[in-house]
Structure 1
Amino acid sequence: MQALKHLKRVVTDWFLCGMFLATFLAWLFPDVGRSGGAMHAEYLINGGVFLVFFLHGINLSSEQIGRGLKNGRLHLMVQGFTFVVFPLLWWLADKLLGSHVPALLMLGFFYLCALPSTISSSVALTGSAGGNVPAAILNASLSSVLGIFITPWLVSLVVGTGSNGIDLGATLLDLCALLLLPLVLGQLLRPWLGRFFARHKRYTNILDKLVILLLVYAAFCNSMVSGMWQQQGSAVLITAFIGSALLLALILWMTTRTARALRLSPADEVAAVFCASKKSLAAGAPMAALIFGAHPGLGLILLPIMIYHPLQLIVCSIMAEHYANRPAPITAGTLLSAR
C-alpha cells in the first residue's frame, strides 16, 4: 500500500506528466521544436537556462553550506560515488554488455553516470527522513558546481575530442557562461534579492521545470526529424528501463553499505545515501544541449536520465519514510533522561 501511495504521488506530478506530453508533442509536431524550427527553441533554451541557474544562485544558502562542512568522510563518499563509482559501473557494464546495447543508448547511460547529484530532491528527502540537511545542501551544491567541469570532461573520455568528438574547451566555456556565471551572479545578488525570491520560490521551481520540459521537447524533435526513433523498436525503451532500475538498485545498496562501513551517524547516512545515489535531470538536460548540441540522437542519450529521474523519486520517497519511522538510537543521554 505504501508503494502504491508513493507511485500515485509520482504519477500525478505535473512535471513527470509533462515529460510524457513533451515527447508526445515532439512526435506530433517535430518541425516546430527542432533546431532552426519555428519556435527557435535553441535561443529560448539558452535564455531559460541562464535565468534558472541565476535563480538557483539566489536561492542557495551559503550559511547552510557552511554548517555542512564538518564531516569529511561523508563529503568524500558522496562526490566519489557521483563522479567515480557511477562511471566505473558503466565501464564494467559496457565491457560485459556493450555489444548488445545500441551505441547511443549506451552513451546515454554513461551520460547519466557522469551527471552531478540533484539539489532539490536530495535536500527535501534528506529533511523528510530526519537526515543531515546542511550536509545534503553542501554536497548537492558542490556536486552541481563540480559537474560543470567534470561531466563534459568525462564525456570527452568516451566520445573523444576534436572533429569526431566534442570541443572540450568551447563546451567548458559555454557551460561556464550559461551555468556557472548566472550561479555566481545569483549568489552575489542574494543579500538584496534573496528574501524576495524566497517568498516566490514556488514560481521559480515552476520555471525551472518548464525549461527542462522545453529541452526535452527540443531534443526529441531533433530525434524525430532525423528518423532515429523510427529506426529503434520498443526494445530500446525496455532496455533503458531495466538498465536504469538495476543501476538504481545497485547504487542504493552500495551507498547504504558504504555509509555503514564508514560508521556514519544515522543522520549522515541518510544524507550520504540520498545525495550519492541521485542524478540531476535539471542539470542534465541543459548540459546535454550544450555538450551534444543538435545531435539527432540527443533524445536517446537523454532517455536513461528521464527514466532514472522518476524511479529515484519513487524508491527514495519510500526509503525516506522508512528512515523517518525507524526508532531513534539509544544514547547515554536518553537513558539519563528516562531516569
Structure 2
Amino acid sequence: MRIFRLDPMMIKLIITVLLATFLPAKGGFVPFFEWLTTAAIALLFFMHGAKLSREKIIAGSSHWRLHLWILFSTFVLFPILGLLLVWWHPVNVSAEIYTGFLYLCILPATVQSAIAFTSMAGGNVAAAVCSASASSLLGVFISPLLVNLVMNIHSAAGNSGLEQIGKIMLQLLVPFVLGHLARRWIGGWVERHKSLIGKTDQTSILLVVYTAFSAAVVNGIWTRVGVDTLLWIVAGSLLLLFVVLLVNLAAARLFGFSRPDEITILFCGSKKSLANGVPMANILFPVAAVGIIVLPLMIFHQVQLMVCSFIAQRYKKKNEAAAAAAISKPVKSTKAAG
C-alpha cells in the first residue's frame, strides 16, 4: 500500500545516519563540517525567504479565525501534549528521547507538505500558504522562547535565552529576510528552478543531520538507543499525531469552519518542520545531544507524511465522488422531464 512507503527524503535521512554511524566526522573534519553546516543553514533559509510569495500571503491573510486556531494548535496544543507525555513517562527510555518529543512539539509547522496535502485534499490553499509561512517565521522567535520556558535548557547549553534567540536570528532569520528581499530579482529564477531549490533544501538538512549524528555517534548514541526505543518513538509519534488530528477536526466542526478550511486546519495544524527543527536544534542544544534529541522529530516527520497522505487521498476521493454526483443530477432530472 502507498501509505506504508517511505518518502525519498526519509530514505536519504536513513542513509545519512548510517554514514554518520560508520564514518563519523572526527578530528580536523569537525570544524570544517561545523562551518559547512552553518553555511548550509543560511542558504536553506535564504531559499525559504526567496520562495515566499507576498501576494499569496496577502490573499490568505484575512482568515484570522483559521490562522489563530492553527497557531494555537502549533504553539499551545502541541507543547501541552508534549509536557503531558513527559509527565506521563509511559516507557523507561533515555531522558533525551522525551526531550526530543518535547522539542518537536514546540517547533513551527512545515510549509511545503502542509500546502501540498491541503491542495490535494481540496482545502483552502491560499490560507494554507499564509498560515504555514507565518508559523515558520514566528517559530524563529516562539520556539526558542518555548524551549527556555518548558525545558530550561539554557543552563545545560551554556547560553541564555537572549543569546540563543540572537544566534537563531543571525543564522536563520537574517538569511530568510535577505532571501525575501532578493525575491524581486531572483523570484523568477526560483519559480523556474523549484526542483533545484528542493534539492538544495534537502542537501542542507542532510548535512546538518550528518554533523549532528557524527557528534552523537562519537558520544555513544547507539549504546542508548535500541530497536525497542525506536519502536516506542514510532508509537509515541502515532499517538501524538492522532490526538492532534482529532482535536483539530473536532475544533474545525465545533467552530463552524467550511470543509476547505477544515482541511487546511487538519494539515497545517498537525505538522512539525524538519527543515526548521534540525538547524534550530544545532543552535539550541549541546552538540553531543543534538543527534538523539532530533531522532523523534525525524521519525515523526515520516509518520506525519504517511498518515496525512492517507487522509488527503480520502478527502480527494470524497471530493471527486461529490463532483461526479453533482454532474449526474442535472442529467437525471433532464431525462425525467423528457
| Structure-1-length-normalised TM-score | 0.91
**Structure 2 SS opposite 1:31:** coil
- Distance in 2 (alpha carbons) for counterparts of 1:265 and 1:74: 10
Q: Aligned residues: percent identity?
A: 39
- Distance in 2 (alpha carbons) for counterparts of 1:42 and 1:210: 15
Number of residue equivalences: 328
Match runs of 1:8-19 below 5 Å: 8=5, 11=6, 13-19=7-13
**Which string of whole-angstrom CA distances, capped at 9 and with x for unpartnered residues, describes residues 55-89 of structure 1?**
11111111011010222221111000000000111
**Structure 2 SS opposite 1:40:** helix
- Distance in 2 (alpha carbons) for counterparts of 1:52 and 1:274: 23
- Distance in 1 (alpha carbons) for counterparts of 2:261 and 2:225: 43
Q: How far did 1:98 drift?
A: 6.4
User: In the alignment, does 2:151 pair up with 1:159?
Assistant: yes
User: In the alignment, does 2:273 pair up with 1:276?
Assistant: no
Q: How far did 1:235 drift?
A: 2.4
- Distance in 2 (alpha carbons) for counterparts of 1:127 and 1:256: 17
Q: Which residue in the other structure is 2:117 paired with? A: 125
- Distance in 2 (alpha carbons) for counterparts of 1:258 and 1:163: 38
**Structure 1 SS opposite 2:269:** helix
Match runs of 1:229-308 below 5 Å: 229-294=222-287, 296-308=288-300
Q: What is the identity, as a one-letter code, of the residue corresponding to 1:65?
A: I
**Structure 2 SS opposite 1:30:** coil
User: In the alignment, does 2:162 pair up with 1:169?
Assistant: yes
Q: How far did 1:161 drift?
A: 5.5
**Which string of whole-angstrom CA distances, capped at 9 and with x for unpartnered residues, describes residues 284-330 of structure 1?**
01011011141x1211100111001111111111111111121549x
Match runs of 1:94-243 below 5 Å: 94-97=86-89, 100-160=92-152, 162-165=154-157, 166-243=159-236
Q: Which residue in the other structure is 1:28 paired with? A: 22
**Which string of whole-angstrom CA distances, capped at 9 and with x for unpartnered residues, describes residues 182-235 of structure 1?**
111112111121001110111010010111111111111111101232233332
Structure 1 segments of 4+ aligned residues over 6 angstroms from their partners: 334-339
Alpha carbons of structure 1 residues 314 and 164: separation in structure 2 relative to 1, 3 Å: closer
Q: What is the identity, as a one-letter code, of the residue corresponding to 2:270?
A: S
Q: Specify which of 5, 29, 32 is matched with residue 40 of structure 1.
A: 32
Alpha carbons of structure 1 residues 42 and 168: separation in structure 2 relative to 1, 3 Å: same
**Structure 2 SS opposite 1:116:** coil
Q: Is the 8 A contact 1:73 1:262 kept in 2?
A: no
**Structure 2 SS opposite 1:100:** coil
CA RMSD of aligned residues (A): 2.3
Q: Is the 8 A contact 1:98 1:106 kept in 2?
A: no
Q: Specify which of 2, 5, 9 is matched with residue 5 of structure 1.
A: 2
Q: Which residue in the other structure is 1:81 paired with? A: 73
Q: Structure 2: which 5+ residue stretches go unaligned?
A: none
- Distance in 2 (alpha carbons) for counterparts of 1:285 and 1:78: 22
- Distance in 2 (alpha carbons) for counterparts of 1:323 and 1:280: 23
Q: What is the identity, as a one-letter code, of the residue corresponding to 2:162?
A: G
Q: What is the identity, as a one-letter code, of the residue corresponding to 1:242?
A: A
Q: How far did 1:28 drift?
A: 0.5
- Distance in 1 (alpha carbons) for counterparts of 2:90 and 2:139: 25
Greater Cα offset, 92-101 or 124-133: 92-101
**Structure 1 SS opposite 2:266:** helix
Q: What is the identity, as a one-letter code, of the residue corresponding to 1:22?
A: T
Q: What is the identity, as a one-letter code, of the residue corresponding to 1:232?
A: V
- Distance in 1 (alpha carbons) for counterparts of 2:322 and 2:204: 41
| Structure-2-length-normalised TM-score | 0.91
Alpha carbons of structure 1 residues 243 and 283: separation in structure 2 relative to 1, 3 Å: same
